[in-house]
Structure 1
Amino acid sequence: MRIILSLYILALYSLNLKAQENPVYLNYNWEQTPQFETRIPDSVGIVGLKDKMIVEFIFEDDNFVEYFLEHKAFLLNSDERIEEYNRIYLPYNNDSELQVNKARVIKPNGDVVELDESQILTAEDEETQRAYKFFAFEGIEKGSIIDYYYVVKKMAPDYSGKRINFQQPYQKKNIEFDLYAPENLVFQFKSYNGLPEVSQDTLSESKKHWQLNASVIPALEEEEQAPYEALRAFLIYKLDENLANNTQNIISYSKVSQNLYKAYYNEIDKKTQKKLDAFIAESGIKPAMSADEKLRIIESYIKTNVYLGEGGNSGNDLESVLDQKVANSAGMVRLFVGIFKTLDLNHELILTSDRQSLRFDPEFEANSFLNEFLFYFPETGKYLAPTESSSRYGFPPAVWTDNFGLVVKEVSLGNFKSAVGKIEYIKPVPAEMTVDRMALKVTFDEEDLTQVNVTLDRSFEGYYAMYMQPFMNLIPDDKKDELLQDFAKNLDENVVITEKNLNNADPALFGVEPLEFHVKFESEAFVEKAGNRYLFKIGELIGEQIQMYQENERKLPLEDEFTRTYYRDLEVVIPDGYTIANPEDINIDHSFVLDGEELLMFKSTYTLEGNVLKIKADEFYKVNKIDKDFFESYRSVVNSAADFNKVTLVLEPK
């Protein structure tokens, strides 16, 4: 949920404003006889024939309001697309009013069927009890066009950094965007990912007018592991100046930083401070503990004992959070700040975005980038996400890192305290901090070489442990037992488990010790007899691996969630009287080096010490973002693990 950062109280009115004018939408209508280009290949299921948006900010009856008009037309050329688009939902809520809604179907023979009121339906969301409207199209055939537009009046206008997406997985034609505003208001715009720039209509007299036009926006199809939302062509606009009172930089990070400081760093009264001190004491923190220890303990205590609600005013102020153990996002941030200040833990408040949806732009200040809260601790170099219950200190949501953010730092001048904001890079957690480690020891049954005895030790650190270890105390013993068994049964459903145990399952050990699983089992799934030889499918012991396919040329960059490392050590006791005919099949080596640094790597090697075969198969990914030009290098490293998974060793008599 996006957090509202601040309310800008703006003197938007000019003392010499002209008489109130009518909104632009009143003069808008569709063509009575629409003319659309309808020739498309049979293989194409949908084309956007028209995409027009008009945004207007206007003073109306002493209110500053926004009108939003959207007019779209689609040619539907497949049953799948007809099913997908036979309902179109209209985006309005309790803070808005639907002014106009018109829709029609244009059939392949040219007949036009306009929807009547009975086909513009109202429904209610069972969970939120919010009413919504939708167009219910009927009688759509292949080759039909659905054409509709609506106008919404918003009583709470959005001018602090609004994002509008223009690109879809299908081609769009005839794209128009217009923004109108009173003469005294100046907006700024920025286009992303190849979208044409917005220009000002200098001939407009009574209103300021900006516009964007494009004859075609090509389809952008999704690709595996591509951050699709971040790569779509989109626009962000914001209010920047009020010429009537010479107010500039209306939406600025300097003002956001000041507002954040006032909201979260205000003085705590004695009554509330006493309750806060008691809360800290209950957490088990001791003065002699290191900053790392204090932060791990207090975060775990808060996220275990304070319920994070969805929103509203409940749990907004610090005292009510301490009394009720319920907090909304703002209340949770206040609780953490109060504790950090009480414990004298030096920290910085950060606001950022999910880089796979919207990469933080360090060059355009807009509130649309300020969606997620983090804390940074200079002493430890680690981050903490206060409003993410599944995240833990040192391992914030990975998609909030490897990104820029607004860092708010407290500054003091004598007794006066304030804050400054600065855009800084949020480093990703290094690959060596997130580890999946596997150690296997294999022996063959002396009487039946098709049966192997396996000791499997598997451990997880970092992000791989974060979704299990902090919550192991909540998992019933029988479910823990199932989890242990699954490590063996995922390799072979018919294994016979002879020993199993779980180590470091204490939530307090996350970030301190790895979560460890130990299983011993017997299996007949990995060896087949072939005459006087045995085929040992050793690669299958590391489990099924991802195989990446790319039939067409890669068009989009690739992005992982987090950097990571895999260590795999296999030790095999070769049966007496046998030797391995093809040990060289174990050797696999693929890597990606950029500017002299090895960033991606899979390497498997072996050594023979008497009758013991020792194999190392290690893998790491030290970067999250891979340009499309390097996709094949990434794919070869990923597929190397899948290639190892297919390795079969041949045991033959000496």
Structure 2
Amino acid sequence: MRLFTLSLCCILLSALAVAQSRKVTEKYNARAEAARAEVWGWDIAAFNNPDLSKIDTKQSAVVLAKHIDVKLLSTKDVNTSLIKFYVKRDFYYGTTVREMVKINDKVALEEYSQISFNKFRTLNGFRAKATTIIGVRIIKPDGTIKEIQVDDELVTEEDADKKKKSKLAIPDLQVGDIIDYFVLVEEMKATGESIDKQMFVLGDDKPIKRYSVHTEISDKFAIRYTTANGAPDFAILKRPGETTFDLVVSDLPALPTQLWMSPYRQIPNIRMNINYGGYSYGFGLLVPPGGYSRNIKDGDVINSSEILAKEAYRYAGSRGPVEYVDAVRDMIKIYQRDNEKLNKDSIPYYVYYAMRYMVFYRVLPQSRINVGLARNMHESNNMLFISLLAFTLRELDIKSDVVLATNRYGPESGELLDATDFEFILKTRTAKPVYMSSAGVFSHCNNFSTDYEGQDAHVTDVVGGAQRKNDPPFASKVKIPYSKPEENIRQEQYAISLDNKMEQLLVDRTTTVKGALRTAAQRDLLLFEDYYESERKALGVRESFMEAFADSRKNKSLADEYTNAFAEARKEQQEAFDSDVKDQFETAPKAPVAFKVRNMALRHDQPDFIYDTKFSLEGFLKKAGSSYILDVGRLIGGQLTIKPEQRERKVDIYEPFARTYEYNIDISVPAGYKVEGVDKLSRKVDNDCGSFMVTGELTGDKLHLTVRKVYKHAFEKADSWKSMLQMIDAAADFTGQKVLFKKA
């Protein structure tokens, strides 16, 4: 009887869930239909009568019109039919982006042939959800308009994070057509909930004939915004209970946004922050509800950043965070008890790596088991991280100041909006300053991120306090230096032979990665089990978490779970090394790669990531009668190829950093064969921007090849582009180079 009752309950609950799901779907469809009718009915001439004159057919696609509509309104001021789909809250927040695009070639056709989106996106907060609605129309050359029936063409699939995502195929879209589509994301907001930062970028990789913005913001909110790089100001209108901000621009040129640009600094843009209530910059400066402030002074942003730094420092000493401080101090005591005493110059370094251990490496019984490569991507709250460092160092009688640095890929001085425009870096107040920030699991002490190179940074003493008699002189500014190409280098050493069948290359490779190139390689290849144990020993932590769990009756089973997780992570690491070879040579290794990590590069005093790999490759040798052709140029991997539309450039070049790629290749010549074509391998392109140099020589039965590609600077003016092309083209051309193994 009980079994029957339970079965009946399950059936009823299942039926209820199906009915509820159907009801939600019906409401969504009704809301989507209303939204499409509203958007298609917009009275915007650029959409209703698109300008098809002077279409640049050399461009893959041309955006005829783009409009962004943002509404943040009290629910009492919104049409009831709009909000009845949602759980009623205080404010309606909706953003619509609509584009009308002329498709000129197959590249654009592929780009616009499908659209992926999430119908419902769960947000932070109780029952908070965002809903996505999409609409698509195709306009044929004869003017016929065909609206896509979204529900008929939708396919639901899982993304990489196992989350359901809807994919919309666009049938019957052809070259020469115009696609008119919009994406609307809307949700209900409670009082005090955060609002997304708005950024309106007046440019893209396609020309835009007309770009417009319309926002309606309730007077319950305060606005601050900044115009950058020559962007025009909004037309602002105060209306009862709200303020509107409007913008219209025309004929925006295509820009190489996918190739070495800094949009914040090179493309006209407007950034807008929206806050419930008022905005305070400290020292009594306030933007009241319903008010707005434009182009905030840098000094006001610095003031608010200093207040934020001071508050974070105080928080670091409060209950909870201070446990990290106490733990690091205890680690120092144990280390000095078991080893030699740390001198004062060494303390900042120990504190940095101990805090990194606490934040990224430490494992507690309640920690989620995460020992695979995904753990390598973890990042911390940098403000809290440096505040914990500052508090710990202060307890050890070492004062610190905070450096406020702008990002090369963010807004520059004179166009700042809020404290998030700065990176907060700690600088010890010592004779030889030590700089600290948290880039992640593998960050080094006294190492600047290349994103901040070349920037004039502001230094504040709000954390360190007043200067003491023996403190070094205080400087309110610091110039963050550019790194050199020889500091950021990837070196490859290959010893290559041919198998007996003359079908495969047998490769012994040693890879050394330095500087700014290092972290990406570490994240791809290193395992937590290995770097945890290395750092635990280096810091003098006596017992590993595995030993602690094994000795605990309560947590003993966790040791077994971690052992199994480590075994799975080893399999993942094997796949990562296989992928490392595949990515480099653009072909998969014939068998699993044998590998060994020589140096994990976990600290500044052992900074080079070094590993060995051994593998075999097919597809590099081609039989030509009794001879064999070797694609020797492919051994340096795929090279950057500049597209035809990118060969002319009018904007400055923001490269990630100066860097060097070096290949030293020794190829054993098979017995009974000689090599032809060695004389054609050497080449040299060397100018102010970069270089690509190759030397090849035959010594006995060894063909030795040295290839070196250098990007000399992190920034180049636009008029240097032709010089850069010389180096880039030379490298791309070399990948087609071959040599012939001919019967002697």
Distance 1:169 1:111 in 2: 26
Counterpart position of 1:565: 660
Cα deviations by residue, 1:140-161 (Å, 9 ceiling, x for unpaired)? 9976867899999974598998
Q: Does 154-163 or 456-465 show the bigger shift? A: 154-163
| Aligned partners of 2:589 and 2:616 also within 8 Å | no
Residue 371 of structure 2 is aligned to residue 302 of structure 1: no
How far residue 551 of structure 1 moved from its aligned partner, in angstroms, is 1.4
Counterpart position of 1:359: 410
Residue 605 of structure 2 is aligned to residue 504 of structure 1: no
Residue 228 of structure 2 is aligned to residue 191 of structure 1: yes
Provide the secondary structure at the position in 1 that maps to 2:728.
Answer: helix
How far residue 502 of structure 1 moved from its aligned partner, in angstroms, is 2.4
| Aligned partners of 1:395 and 1:429 also within 8 Å | no
Distance 2:380 2:614 in 1: 45
| Aligned partners of 2:100 and 2:179 also within 8 Å | yes
Query: By percentage of residues, which structure has more strand?
Result: 1
TM-score by length of 1: 0.64
Cα deviations by residue, 1:511-538 (Å, 9 ceiling, x for unpaired)? 5153333456788866666567x55637
Distance 1:400 1:303 in 2: 23
Letter of the structure 2 residue corresponding to residue 51 of structure 1? H
| Aligned partners of 2:498 and 2:504 also within 8 Å | yes
Cα deviations by residue, 1:434-471 (Å, 9 ceiling, x for unpaired)? 322222345679x9888877543332233444345584
**1:370 alignment partner, one of 387, 408, 421:** 421
The verdict on how the C-alpha distance between 1:542 and 1:179 changes in structure 2, with shifts beyond 3 A counting, is same
Counterpart position of 1:234: 269
Q: Does 479-488 or 544-553 show the bigger shift? A: 479-488
**1:431 alignment partner, one of 464, 470, 485:** 485
Counterpart position of 1:26: none
| Aligned partners of 2:386 and 2:426 also within 8 Å | no
Letter of the structure 1 residue corresponding to residue 509 of structure 2? L
**1:539 alignment partner, one of 632, 639, 645:** 632
Query: What does residue range 194-593 of structure 1 map to in structure 2 within 5 Å?
Result: 194-198=230-234, 212-218=247-253, 220=255, 222-227=257-262, 231-236=266-271, 251-265=300-314, 268=317, 274-281=326-333, 286-288=341-343, 290=346, 293-294=349-350, 297-306=353-362, 331-343=384-396, 347-352=400-405, 355=408, 358-367=409-418, 369-370=420-421, 372-376=423-427, 383-386=435-438, 388-393=440-445, 397-403=449-455, 406-409=458-461, 410=463, 412-413=465-466, 425-441=479-495, 455-469=508-522, 471-472=526-527, 473=530, 476=570, 479=573, 483=577, 487=581, 502-506=596-600, 508=602, 512=606, 514-518=608-612, 534-535=627-628, 537=630, 539-540=632-633, 542-552=635-645, 553-555=647-649, 557-571=652-666, 580-593=675-688
Distance 2:211 2:503 in 1: 67
Distance 1:454 1:102 in 2: 51
Q: Does 102-111 or 274-283 show the bigger shift? A: 102-111
Distance 1:196 1:385 in 2: 36
Counterpart position of 1:173: 210
Distance 1:243 1:478 in 2: 52
Residue 702 of structure 2 is aligned to residue 630 of structure 1: no
Distance 1:34 1:161 in 2: 25
The verdict on how the C-alpha distance between 1:242 and 1:562 changes in structure 2, with shifts beyond 3 A counting, is closer
The verdict on how the C-alpha distance between 1:647 and 1:168 changes in structure 2, with shifts beyond 3 A counting, is closer
Provide the secondary structure at the position in 2 that maps to 1:255.
Answer: helix
How far residue 602 of structure 1 moved from its aligned partner, in angstroms, is 1.7
Cα deviations by residue, 1:511-568 (Å, 9 ceiling, x for unpaired)? 5153333456788866666567x55637257342314132124445544334322232
The verdict on how the C-alpha distance between 1:275 and 1:327 changes in structure 2, with shifts beyond 3 A counting, is same
Q: Which runs of 5+ in 2 are unaligned?
A: 1-38, 77-89, 104-108, 152-157, 162-169, 274-278, 365-378, 532-568
**2:200 alignment partner, one of 140, 161, 164:** 164
The verdict on how the C-alpha distance between 1:80 and 1:254 changes in structure 2, with shifts beyond 3 A counting, is same
Provide the secondary structure at the position in 1 that maps to 2:342.
Answer: coil
Distance 1:520 1:147 in 2: 51
Letter of the structure 2 residue corresponding to residue 164 of structure 1? F
**1:38 alignment partner, one of 50, 58, 61:** 50
TM-score by length of 2: 0.58
Q: Does 633-642 or 43-52 show the bigger shift? A: 43-52
How far residue 296 of structure 1 moved from its aligned partner, in angstroms, is 6.2
- Report the number of matched residues: 589
Letter of the structure 1 residue corresponding to residue 212 of structure 2? I
Provide the secondary structure at the position in 2 that maps to 1:431.
Answer: coil
Counterpart position of 2:706: 616
The verdict on how the C-alpha distance between 1:70 and 1:328 changes in structure 2, with shifts beyond 3 A counting, is closer
Letter of the structure 2 residue corresponding to residue 647 of structure 1? Q
| Aligned partners of 2:696 and 2:705 also within 8 Å | yes
The verdict on how the C-alpha distance between 1:379 and 1:297 changes in structure 2, with shifts beyond 3 A counting, is farther
| Aligned partners of 1:257 and 1:421 also within 8 Å | no
The verdict on how the C-alpha distance between 1:648 and 1:151 changes in structure 2, with shifts beyond 3 A counting, is closer
| Aligned partners of 1:402 and 1:428 also within 8 Å | yes
The verdict on how the C-alpha distance between 1:104 and 1:650 changes in structure 2, with shifts beyond 3 A counting, is closer
Distance 2:586 2:223 in 1: 63
The verdict on how the C-alpha distance between 1:535 and 1:38 changes in structure 2, with shifts beyond 3 A counting, is same
Provide the secondary structure at the position in 2 that maps to 1:51.
Answer: strand
Distance 1:330 1:307 in 2: 22
How far residue 169 of structure 1 moved from its aligned partner, in angstroms, is 5.1
Provide the secondary structure at the position in 2 that maps to 1:618.
Answer: strand
Distance 2:68 2:576 in 1: 55
How far residue 589 of structure 1 moved from its aligned partner, in angstroms, is 1.0
Counterpart position of 1:10: none
Letter of the structure 1 residue corresponding to residue 306 of structure 2? S
| Aligned partners of 2:446 and 2:604 also within 8 Å | no
The verdict on how the C-alpha distance between 1:89 and 1:307 changes in structure 2, with shifts beyond 3 A counting, is farther
Cα deviations by residue, 1:273-332 (Å, 9 ceiling, x for unpaired)? 654421444678951473685266325423433589xxxxxxxxxxxxxxxxx9866543
Distance 1:452 1:181 in 2: 67
Letter of the structure 1 residue corresponding to residue 393 of structure 2? F
Distance 2:661 2:362 in 1: 35
The verdict on how the C-alpha distance between 1:484 and 1:200 changes in structure 2, with shifts beyond 3 A counting, is closer
Distance 1:542 1:102 in 2: 46
How far residue 362 of structure 1 moved from its aligned partner, in angstroms, is 1.1
The verdict on how the C-alpha distance between 1:441 and 1:512 changes in structure 2, with shifts beyond 3 A counting, is same
Distance 2:72 2:633 in 1: 62
> RMSD value over aligned CA atoms?
6.6
Provide the secondary structure at the position in 1 that maps to 2:390.
Answer: helix
Distance 1:608 1:427 in 2: 42
Distance 1:616 1:640 in 2: 15
Cα deviations by residue, 1:392-415 (Å, 9 ceiling, x for unpaired)? 435565445455655434454378
